[in-house]
Amino acid sequence: MDLSRQGGLLESTVSRAPTADDQLLFLSKIQRLFAEGEFTATYKFALVISLVEIAIEVPPLSKESELEVSIRSIATKFIELYWKQSFEFVAGRAGTRRGVLANNLGNQAAVITAIRKFRAAAGPGASTFTAARQQRSFPSLVSEVASVVSEQPIACLQNFGGTTDTFLYERGRRGFILLRPGVAYCLRRFQPLIQQLARSHWVDHIKANKRNLELLGETSDLESFLFSAARKALIDYGALLRRLTGPTCFYCSARLTEEADVDHFVPFTLYPRDLAHNFVLAHSSCNRSKSDSLAAYDHLARWLERNDRWSVGIAEISRESGLVHDEAATRAIGNWSYQATSEAGGVAWVKKGNYEPVGARHLALF
């Protein structure tokens, strides 16, 4: 992996995983990208998040491989990321008004404008991102957003420090970019750090935009609005999931009372994306005990079996509740999370006060 300063070109003949020095240099360039890049809109943050998620959800063939990424797949990620932001933000505090958050220092971000026009034309049938994807006009929205993505953040993301350093990707065949050899590996390896940097800078950018002052006030839940599923959607999904799979706690198998938590099986802190197949019903006590840990071997085996058994049903109730569903991506995320934890010598939660090391037998389930 060659991250030389002369354009940051990576040699396509590389046949090894990035060395420790390669990885440190990659991280230093990511840090420079955020520190020295120009951010007049939030698109660059969205592009970084999209590339990280794609590298995990559609992994390369090997650690050193290049990864071809379609601009339409990035555009679809953009639509998902900006979907909630196309609705009015309501702080609910004295002295604030409701309105769509400005994601650009100039006119409203073109992606948000495109989504709002699409929603207005589609009507109630596109009340959620999941429902929108079923609309016949959705591919046209993807094409419009893909054009914006290609002309703006893809063209500009790697401009920082007064120069262009193509250390992440280069233009590929028409409609694609090509992640440099080893880049997908580094994006997967450092996902928690990169994703958090992008999200925190995104939040700061919106807070610093003077046009948002009357909307935000002293709000403290902006990050939740930007990046998390709506609480009502989770409540609705939990009720539907109970009907589908039964009123028992996923972890301890005891009967659930009326109150139950909708828990991220792969913790949200590890992979902050709300996908229907990743949610399980659990007692609050089990959820609190598991906290931000991965679940142990027996839990993992049952989770994979459940998703396989109830795949169609989960997809159906996710559409009803408005949650995004993608079983293949969820499985890839699970594989990545257990692999990363195994490589770090981490452990998985069995039950309260009981943990086991994550290793080859966990990975063999995938």
Indicate if 299 and 312 belong to the same structural domain. Answer: yes
72, 176 in Cβ contact below 8 A? Answer: no
Does the residue 6 lie in any domain? no
Domain-terminating residue out of 227, 259, 276: 227
Domain-terminating residue out of 227, 245, 278: 227
The pLDDT, as a whole number, for residue 6 is: 37
Return the H-helix or E-strand segment holding 348. strand 347-351
pLDDT per residue, tens digit, the chain (366 aa), is 555 443 343 333 344 778 999 999 999 999 999 999 989 899 999 999 999 999 999 877 777 678 999 999 999 999 999 999 999 988 877 778 889 999 998 888 999 999 999 999 999 989 999 999 999 999 999 999 999 999 999 999 999 989 999 999 999 999 999 999 999 999 999 999 999 999 999 999 999 999 998 898 776 578 888 988 888 899 999 999 999 999 999 999 999 987 889 999 999 999 999 999 999 999 999 999 999 999 999 999 999 999 999 999 999 999 999 999 999 999 999 999 999 999 999 999 999 999 999 999 999 999
Contacts of 335 (CB under 8 A, 6+ apart): 363, 366
The pLDDT, as a whole number, for residue 219 is: 62
Kindly report the three-state secondary structure assignment for every residue of 265-301: CCCCCCCCCCEHHHEEEECHHHHHHHCCCEECHHHHH
Does the residue 4 lie in any domain? no
Domains identified in the chain, total number: 2
| Residue type, position 184, single letter | A
Indicate if 82 and 127 belong to the same structural domain. Answer: yes
Indicate if 165 and 56 belong to the same structural domain. Answer: yes
Contacts of 354 (CB under 8 A, 6+ apart): none
Structural domain range at position 160? 20-227
Indicate if 222 and 241 belong to the same structural domain. Answer: no
Does the residue 3 lie in any domain? no
Does the residue 114 lie in any domain? yes
Cα–Cα distance, 76 to 49 (Å, whole number): 12
The sign of the torsion formed by the CA atoms of 133, 137, 140, 144 equals negative
Does the residue 12 lie in any domain? no
Question: Within a 10 A sphere around the Cβ of 68, how many other Cβ atoms?
Answer: 14
Indicate if 85 and 192 belong to the same structural domain. Answer: yes
Question: Within a 10 A sphere around the Cβ of 23, how many other Cβ atoms?
Answer: 18
**Residue 93, SS3 per DSSP:** coil
User: Which DSSP category does 59 fall into?
Assistant: -
Indicate if 239 and 195 belong to the same structural domain. Answer: no
Indicate if 39 and 51 belong to the same structural domain. Answer: yes
Does the residue 15 lie in any domain? no
Indicate if 220 and 237 belong to the same structural domain. Answer: no
Instruction: Indicate the angle between helix axes 297-309 and 327-343, nearest 10 degrees.
Output: 170
Indicate if 75 and 216 belong to the same structural domain. Answer: yes
Indicate if 92 and 197 belong to the same structural domain. Answer: yes
Indicate if 305 and 329 belong to the same structural domain. Answer: yes
Which residue has tokens 């408005």?
A: 322
244, 140 in Cβ contact below 8 A? Answer: no
The pLDDT, as a whole number, for residue 1 is: 58
Does the residue 154 lie in any domain? yes
Q: Mark out the alpha helices in the chain (DSSP H runs).
A: 20-36, 43-57, 71-83, 110-122, 129-132, 138-151, 153-156, 183-189, 191-208, 213-216, 222-227, 231-245, 284-290, 297-309, 311-321, 327-343, 360-364
Indicate if 240 and 222 belong to the same structural domain. Answer: no
Does the residue 120 lie in any domain? yes
Domain-terminating residue out of 192, 227, 262: 227
Cα–Cα distance, 114 to 215 (Å, whole number): 21
